[in-house]
Amino acid sequence: MSIGKEIIRIENLRREFMVGGEKVKALRGISFTINEGEFVTIMGTSGSGKSTLLNLLGCLDTPTSGEYLLDEISVRSMSKNQRAVTRNRKIGFVFQNYNLLPKTTAIENVELPLLYNTSVSAKERREKAIASLKSVGLGERLNHKSNQM
């Protein structure tokens, strides 16, 4: 299998927080690259920085120092609004817990992120949601409320 182009490059990434009067070094200069088509697992003990790293990769936070390139664009140099657009267009998370809106159908829950993308029509949004649910074996749940899943 051929691995595609470089999607993510992390170079000497650091993230520090002040907790009380103490500096906590959550990430201490990590570097790696992820190419298109690769599957990556982030593992570590509790408190090792996994959530901090995911928040940085998801453009929810910015590093203290180091570089994060997403599709060859520096995330550190993006404004808050640019990071929000990037999250909407390029990044998705699969959570351990269900983060579904109660009293909405499975389709409506899947459609929700596309509501913020003005380049996707309502018809296209619905078609993508149905296709996504079917692709993961949830086609039979199309009209079930999320609290019934």
CATH number of the domain that residue 15 is part of: 3.40.50.300
Q: Let me know whether 124 and 83 are in one domain.
A: no
On whether residue 99 sits in a domain, the answer given is no
Q: In what order do the strands lie in the sheet with 6-19?
A: 22-35, 6-19, 65-70, 73-74
pLDDT computed for residue 146 by the predictor: 60
Length of the chain: 149
Q: Let me know whether 86 and 110 are in one domain.
A: no
> Higher pLDDT residue, 82 or 140?
82
On whether residue 112 sits in a domain, the answer given is yes
Q: Let me know whether 85 and 140 are in one domain.
A: no
- Whether the CB-CB separation of 38 and 1 falls below 8 Å is answered with no
On whether residue 97 sits in a domain, the answer given is no
Q: Tell me which residue range forms the domain holding 64.
A: 6-90
Q: CA distances (Å), 69 to each of 11, 48, 52, 63, in order?
A: 9, 22, 17, 12
Q: Let me know whether 75 and 127 are in one domain.
A: no
Closest CA to 31 of 8, 7, 58: 8
pLDDT category, 100, cuts 50, 70, 90? confident
Q: Let me know whether 19 and 68 are in one domain.
A: yes
Give the residue from 90, 118, 137 where a domain finishes: 90
In total, how many domains does the chain have? 2
For residue range 36-95, list pLDDT tens digits in order.
989 888 998 988 999 999 999 999 888 999 999 999 999 988 999 999 889 888 887 766
Q: How far apart are CA 32 and CA 9, in angstroms?
A: 6
